[in-house]
Structure 1
């Protein structure tokens, strides 16, 4: 199961906004968000009879310092005959101009380390260069794309301008860090939370903030002639400060929901770069 760091992005997961400098970039809130995960639906082909888990997403930084994300995604998946626990732990850093992106991911199954991935990507005018350190050294050149925080900043910018649909490429270091994903982004009308919104207790002072409903489909178009079917889709509510909530992650044969249950907002970064 591919878990993209653009989820929250898509949680936080494009060229810089116009000709904006780092000090003019869209301000993103530094925070830690905790989500309870539950099975939404599953086909017979998936073999999944139950799913539960928790996701913790911590976002820090500023355009001057760059952005750090600590992300943990734990799920217990039942298939009727067996049960397994998957635990993905990721740390990333993206510089404020979206030119470099480093990533470390450790994936565990039933508490045993299954895979460790570590690397750095550099965006150049005509390509993205990827240097992988683990599991073994490798160098790749991929087509031009954007990194997750940059992707989020552009999404907010386009939503503020009323643009409801666009396409873009993204590299987030997922799986083997050897692919660029093409995404289609659909942005709905800005709305306010209803009094019955189940996530209101976790939002605290942000409960009155408006949000956009967003749907992002991720396509692997590396294989020519393949069907135009997304690898997965993510739907969520996006606040202008970068907070995402009310998640639905659809992997085709099954989907899961993520409900915001706890939110901690950190101190604001300095207003300008020195």
Structure 2
């Protein structure tokens, strides 16, 4: 009968196992603190250290979320809020990106627009809420304007900075090699400015969700903000906290997608 002979662990497999453990740790380590906080929160609520009126237990919030999914159009509210956020991002972010490229590339455009943008940038966009209501009323236009205004400047500043930070010698080299204006933009200006643009996008995504929370308080008849405003009127703390958690999760999802885009777009960059 043949005997199975156990192969000894070679020295080559040990580094591979260490690498696998390190990668596993890097993947799950960011979730350690949130999981611990939720555990402490649940324990404190169970033991009565925290009143349910002040902060319901995570299990209660999960149950509330499940009930709203079954008996209320929660997914519809999330979809409406997401649409508002993305439309505002497309409008404000698109304008910010366009003006950033324009002012970073052409001196005459910078002289015309940049000083005005810098003055407006110092106005807290949420402080414009009463004026926005006077301009647009309390409809959808006001909410989209606030989100678009909020995300404009992160993308504008980072795009402008990215274009202006490109080494002039690279531009000169492109001209020497006979690149057209479009070729210069495609092969030198845009790739060189892309890391800064993506930083601006991540910043804009955070501002987007922060602004949307306030914007949806404008007599909204649908969306997560509408749900939380109704919960405030009826002192439903579990629904309020659930709404905040949903905003946080949507923000985390948006940031994760932005980081994935950044990782794939900057594979050419050393250390990216």
For normalisation by structure 2, the TM-score amounts to: 0.25
Structure with the greater alpha carbon radius of gyration: 2
Q: Greater helix percent: which structure?
A: 2
Q: Greater strand percent: which structure?
A: 1
For normalisation by structure 1, the TM-score amounts to: 0.25
